[in-house]
Chain A
Amino acid sequence: MKMLPYWRYLTVAVTMIIVGAAIPVQIVRIQSSPEVAGVTGNGAYEWKTFYPARGVIYDRHGNLLAGNKTVYEVGVDLTAMPALETKALDMQKNIALAVQMALGIDSAKVLKRMTDAVAGTQYIKLDDFVDSDKANQLMQLQDKVQADPSGLNLNAVQFQAHLMRSYPENDLASTILGFVTEDNHGYLGVEEKYDNILAGIPVTLLVPTDPRRAEEYPHIPPGQTLILTIDREIQASVEKILDNALESTDSVSGTILVMDPKTGEILAMSSTPRMNLNDYTRVGEIFPGATPFDRAISQAYEVGSVAKILTMAAALDNGTVTPDTIFFDTGVIYVGGFPIRNWDNNAWGYQDMTGCLAHSLNVCLAWVSTQMGNDSFYSYMQRFGLGHLTGIDLAGEAPGRLKLPGDSDWHPVDLGTNAFGQGVAITPIQMVMAASALANNGQMVYPHVLYAQVRGGHQSNMSQWVVATPIKAETAHTISSMLANALETESSVDLLPGYSIAGKTGTAQIPIPNGYDSNDINASFIGWGPVDDPRFLVYVWLEKPQSNKAASVVATPIFKQVIEKLVVLMGIPPDAVRLPASVPQEQVQNTDQ
């Protein structure tokens, strides 16, 4: 066998060694090259602040009530100006003119800001929250002069896109939603109450500039999505009815509240005035002085006779009276030394308790409360939540005022007047929460507007809370029947044929220093239905109606319009169709199969 020369082995070996060694050398060389260092930042980190997108708000059926839209910060990069001073000035003039054309900002002011910039200034912010239409106009101008032969382009103008709140329904449910200012803070309503979870948490983190550390990039979740209990269609109908009512009755303001009495879910809540939330800067103009943003939760007032339902429920519950208890109405009763008279100053003679409610007799209800006594009466009123916050998840709730024996401003006559809603300040939401006990088997529910939160694709629905059980279930059924009968026997009211509705009007005088205003009233109505299985509880309040001074004339028709809409929008058939006894037997059998 012929041997190969030694030098050949050596050559092959040396070649392979060189090639083999070149690979790790190349690895090290590439990784330490300036090009790669430029990309990777030499393994460095940089501080970055992340502002998560604000969470959006939907109604209970997934209709967007509050979303986000793109707006722009527009500024000038002074480092992009030509070195030659005269040329730089020409470019600044061009920019000032273009900005005036597109954004409407005075060109002289823009030019002055650029020319007066302190040496070393790199960037000047000209405007922020610029609508995308205007920004696009400026971008198009920038594109047009991009290839300007003289070099006087608009390349120094910079756009920084970001999101801002937008309300596609404008003023719909505005008093519930509240608004968000440019600093991304929520004010009033849901926006303020849930500001923390809607806004997300801005974080400043060290972010690797090295692309090989991509997995370390932070994932900043956006603010949580909220789903409200509000039904957009019901809300829109209620607002339209309220607006028409204010016009037809010439009232100062109004409130309509619709709640599911079994769950406490607010289906609609409207009060006046309302505002277009996209134009929140007018809030001071629309709500001057101490005007409450949402009267339904923020304005307590003497509700008048609608409070009689609470007095009667309490008296029935502790056994002071039964529906058949007879009271002889002489037209006046003295409580604490003061006379109390009926709304018409008449005596109504013998009346059972249903008659007392049907004719809204102050004398009768004052007698009922005096029969109960201070301890029992006020104990029940407190159990109904009067004088306390309901805790509704909206910013700006007022507690109202229930004077109690022992308070410096409490007088014995208050026991009589409180029985028919005078001398006690109650917000509409408090009245609705208290009445839910009557409509819901004695269980008083927590009123709320948040249905669910959505985060990371997971929806968490709110729990339904029973706040208290101030009265027994049988008492609730009894008072509901009495109120339904009272409405039916009251000839002036023909609410909704085919549906059993329980309700009560309230015509309340307005307190002024040293007495009550003889010219103006507050007109209210509270009612729920269908009585056997309540699906809605509605409260109507008109402040100082001028067309008529009786709630049965001004507030009752509003209540009627609302429930006419509700039975359609909620798909509630008439009693004759809905109740099982009315379902044809053959169809029931089909169901069983």
Chain B
Amino acid sequence: MENVSQIVQKVRQANWRVQRQWIGLFLLGLVAVSMVAGLYLNITVRATLAGREVQLLQPTLSSDRRKNSDLETQLAGLTSVESMQKRAGSLGFQPANPEDITYVFVPGYTPKTAVDMSQPGPASQGQSQKPVLLPEYSESLFDWITRTLAASAPAGGQP
């Protein structure tokens, strides 16, 4: 028993070592918490700034939409029937009569059809037009870690 007691005393670490390990462990935790807090703060600030920018852009968006409407209406006025007829007349054109026209048989010719204003992409598939918001501005930190890990995982299944 005496020998065993001696062995235990030999492998026990010094008190200062134990204390240093605890302090190190505590500091590691502190650093981790600080990193998480810093990251959270950073993301929150970026989200807030982006949101503020969105707020400030709302009037600009409205103004630009009004300008677009103005310009479209002005363009329509400039290309109205009356304007175009005047312009064509000043350039020496005159309305065609049936006897002025020579018809040529063109294989595969497709006559003019009505306008199609469908836009390509998701909108044309009936999805509503919603402002695009990056996931960074809406997901939680946990979501971000999960997404990042998922993105860094190797693609494909088992070899």
Query: Which residues of chain A have a CB within 8 Å of any CB of chain B?
Result: 3, 6, 9, 12-13, 16-17, 19-20, 23-24, 26-27, 39-40, 53, 56, 58, 60-64, 67-70, 132, 161-163, 166, 168-170, 172, 210-215, 217, 219, 221, 225, 227, 229, 232-233, 236, 451-452, 454, 456-459, 496, 498, 564, 567-568, 571, 573-574, 577, 583-584, 587, 590-591
Chain A, Cβ-Cβ closest to B14: A3
Asked if B129 contacts A64 (CB within 8 A), the reply is no
- Give the CA-CA distance A170 to B76 in the complex, in Å: 11
Per-residue interface assignment for chain B, residues 102 to 137, with 1 indicating a CB less than 8 Å from any chain A CB and 0 otherwise: 010101100110111111010111111111010001
Per-residue interface assignment for chain B, residues 58 to 94, with 1 indicating a CB less than 8 Å from any chain A CB and 0 otherwise: 1000010111011011111101111001000000000
Task: Say which residue of A39, A132, A166, A225 sits within 8 Å of B117 (CB atoms).
Answer: A225
Task: Say which residue of B31, B66, B131 sits within 8 Å of A161 (CB atoms).
Answer: B66
Residue numbers in B under 8 Å from A452 (CB-CB): 114, 117
Query: Which residues of chain B have a CB within 8 Å of any CB of chain A?
Result: 16, 19-20, 23, 26-27, 30-31, 33-34, 37-38, 40-41, 44, 47-52, 54-55, 58, 63, 65-67, 69-70, 72-77, 79-82, 85, 95-98, 101, 103, 105, 107-108, 111-112, 114-119, 121, 123-131, 133, 137-138
Asked if B119 contacts A571 (CB within 8 A), the reply is no
- Give the CA-CA distance A162 to B66 in the complex, in Å: 8
- Give the CA-CA distance A39 to B66 in the complex, in Å: 27
Asked if B128 contacts A53 (CB within 8 A), the reply is no
6 contacts between A and B (CB under 8 A): A20-B34, A27-B44, A161-B63, A212-B48, A217-B58, A457-B123
- Contact A212-B27, Cβ < 8 Å, known A9-B20, A573-B103, A577-B103: no
Residue numbers in A under 8 Å from B52 (CB-CB): 39, 211
Task: Say which residue of B27, B30, B116, B137 sits within 8 Å of A459 (CB atoms).
Answer: B116
Asked if A456 contacts B80 (CB within 8 A), the reply is no
Task: Say which residue of A19, A70, A457, A587 sits within 8 Å of B129 (CB atoms).
Answer: A457
Q: How far is the CB of B114 from chain A (nearest CB, A)?
A: 4
- Give the CA-CA distance A502 to B56 in the complex, in Å: 65
Q: Which 8 residue pairs are nearest across A and B when measured between Cβ atoms? A: A211-B51, A457-B123, A457-B119, A64-B76, A214-B51, A168-B76, A62-B115, A67-B73
Residue numbers in A under 8 Å from B128 (CB-CB): 219, 221, 456
Asked if A211 contacts B55 (CB within 8 A), the reply is yes
- Contact A64-B73, Cβ < 8 Å, known A70-B67, A457-B121, A571-B112: yes
- Give the CA-CA distance A457 to B126 in the complex, in Å: 8
Asked if B51 contacts A61 (CB within 8 A), the reply is no
Asked if A9 contacts B67 (CB within 8 A), the reply is no
Chain B, Cβ-Cβ closest to A61: B115
- Contact A23-B37, Cβ < 8 Å, known A61-B115, A169-B81, A232-B81: yes
Q: Provide the main secondary structure of the chain A interface.
A: mixed
- Give the CA-CA distance A172 to B65 in the complex, in Å: 26
- Give the CA-CA distance A56 to B76 in the complex, in Å: 12
Residue numbers in B under 8 Å from A213 (CB-CB): 51
Q: Provide the main secondary structure of the chain B interface.
A: helix
Residue numbers in B under 8 Å from A232 (CB-CB): 81
Chain B, Cβ-Cβ closest to A222: B65
Chain A, Cβ-Cβ closest to B81: A236
- Give the CA-CA distance A567 to B114 in the complex, in Å: 17
Instruction: Tell me the number of A-to-B contacts counted with CB atoms below 8 Å.
Output: 173
Asked if B73 contacts A214 (CB within 8 A), the reply is no
- Give the CA-CA distance A568 to B96 in the complex, in Å: 7
- Contact A456-B66, Cβ < 8 Å, known A17-B30, A213-B51, A217-B58: no
Asked if A211 contacts B54 (CB within 8 A), the reply is yes
Asked if A62 contacts B117 (CB within 8 A), the reply is yes
Asked if A13 contacts B81 (CB within 8 A), the reply is no
Asked if A13 contacts B19 (CB within 8 A), the reply is no
Residue numbers in B under 8 Å from A58 (CB-CB): 115, 117
Asked if B137 contacts A214 (CB within 8 A), the reply is yes
- Give the CA-CA distance A56 to B70 in the complex, in Å: 12
Asked if A27 contacts B73 (CB within 8 A), the reply is no
Asked if B107 contacts A166 (CB within 8 A), the reply is no
- Give the CA-CA distance A534 to B45 in the complex, in Å: 68
Chain B, Cβ-Cβ closest to A265: B114
Chain A, Cβ-Cβ closest to B59: A161
Residue numbers in A under 8 Å from B31 (CB-CB): 20
Q: How far is the CB of B71 from chain A (nearest CB, A)?
A: 10
Chain B, Cβ-Cβ closest to A572: B98
Asked if B76 contacts A215 (CB within 8 A), the reply is no
Q: How far is the CB of A488 from chain B (nearest CB, A)?
A: 18
Asked if A227 contacts B114 (CB within 8 A), the reply is yes
Q: How far is the CB of B21 from chain A (nearest CB, A)?
A: 11
Residue numbers in B under 8 Å from A233 (CB-CB): 81
Residue numbers in A under 8 Å from B111 (CB-CB): 571
Task: Say which residue of A215, A583, A590 sits within 8 Å of B137 (CB atoms).
Answer: A215
Task: Say which residue of B76, B107, B126 sits within 8 Å of A587 (CB atoms).
Answer: B107
Q: How far is the CB of A64 from chain B (nearest CB, A)?
A: 4
Residue numbers in A under 8 Å from B127 (CB-CB): 456
- Contact A587-B105, Cβ < 8 Å, known A61-B112, A215-B138: yes
Task: Say which residue of A20, A56, A567 sits within 8 Å of B30 (CB atoms).
Answer: A20
Q: How far is the CB of A157 from chain B (nearest CB, A)?
A: 18
Chain A, Cβ-Cβ closest to B116: A459
Asked if B26 contacts A13 (CB within 8 A), the reply is yes
- Give the CA-CA distance A62 to B37 in the complex, in Å: 56
Residue numbers in A under 8 Å from B74 (CB-CB): 168
- Give the CA-CA distance A347 to B132 in the complex, in Å: 80
Task: Say which residue of A68, A169, A229 sits within 8 Å of B80 (CB atoms).
Answer: A169
Q: How far is the CB of A489 from chain B (nearest CB, A)?
A: 22
Residue numbers in B under 8 Å from A39 (CB-CB): 52
- Give the CA-CA distance A236 to B108 in the complex, in Å: 30
Residue numbers in A under 8 Å from B121 (CB-CB): 457
Task: Say which residue of B70, B75, B97, B114 sits within 8 Å of A70 (CB atoms).
Answer: B70
Asked if A60 contacts B51 (CB within 8 A), the reply is no
Task: Say which residue of B19, B51, B79, B131 sits within 8 Å of A9 (CB atoms).
Answer: B19
Asked if A23 contacts B96 (CB within 8 A), the reply is no
Residue numbers in B under 8 Å from A574 (CB-CB): 98, 103
- Give the CA-CA distance A338 to B56 in the complex, in Å: 82
Asked if A456 contacts B123 (CB within 8 A), the reply is yes
Asked if B131 contacts A168 (CB within 8 A), the reply is no
Asked if B47 contacts A212 (CB within 8 A), the reply is yes
Residue numbers in A under 8 Å from B20 (CB-CB): 9
